A = this chain, B = another copy of it.
Amino acid sequence: MTAGTAKELKVRHLDPKKRQGLVVVITGDGKGKTTSALGMALRACGHDMRVGIVQFMKGDMYAGEWDGVKKIEGDIELLATGMGFVGLGGNSFSFEEHREAAQKALELVRARMAEKRYDLLILDEINNALKLGLLDLDQVLSLLSARPFELHLVLTGRDADPAVMEIADTVSEVREIKHAFRRKIEPQPGIDY
């Protein structure tokens, strides 16, 4: 990394008087939800924070982040606990199998949270898992209320539940204005996966 005009600039540092964990929800139908969470993970590694990413829906389709995360020299753990997207072409698991995987993932998250294993914990596509009934709303709400005070928790996926958004400190909605896919351009590595 090179800072082009570093010599002329005095770099200022923010330093909040009060550190507190935030609940961030990233929802909507547009491209950039998981991607945004990955960016937060990278930034947090820059701050020497301990990062966990649990992917509730991914696991059956290769994603560039699996190898990207391995290349970070930092305390970052990615768990692709899902069995892919329910009903998506080529995915052959039953609803019960998907639900079992999501329930196991939730147990894992609870355990890691109780150990205070992470400073930033990303629950990737958990909104979809909830919407699809792989998790129940009361399970997710009880997870949120059990979080340690200092832990940042990021929940991604479309169709976030209003009750989850109500609890969150920050909610962003990513809207699709247009997408290359609609013009029959195939998903491209580095951009789409």
Residues of A within 8 A of B (CB): 1-6, 8-14, 16-20, 22, 24-26, 28, 30-32, 34-47, 49, 59-74, 77-84, 90, 101, 104-105, 108, 119-120, 152, 165, 168-180, 183, 185-193
Contacts and interface: CB of A to CB of B under 8 A. Distances in A.
A3 B61 CA distance: 12
Contacts of A20: 185, 188
A40 B190 contact: yes
A139 to B, nearest CB: 18
A6 B68 contact: no
Nearest to A68: B46
B6 A80 contact: yes
Instruction: Give the copy number.
Output: 2
A48 to B, nearest CB: 8
B175 A180 contact: no
Counting chain B CB atoms within 10 Å of each CB, the highest count among A186, A191, A193 belongs to A191
A120 B38 contact: no
A62 to B, nearest CB: 5
Contacts of A5: 59, 80-83, 101, 104
Contacts of A174: 30, 32, 36, 172-175
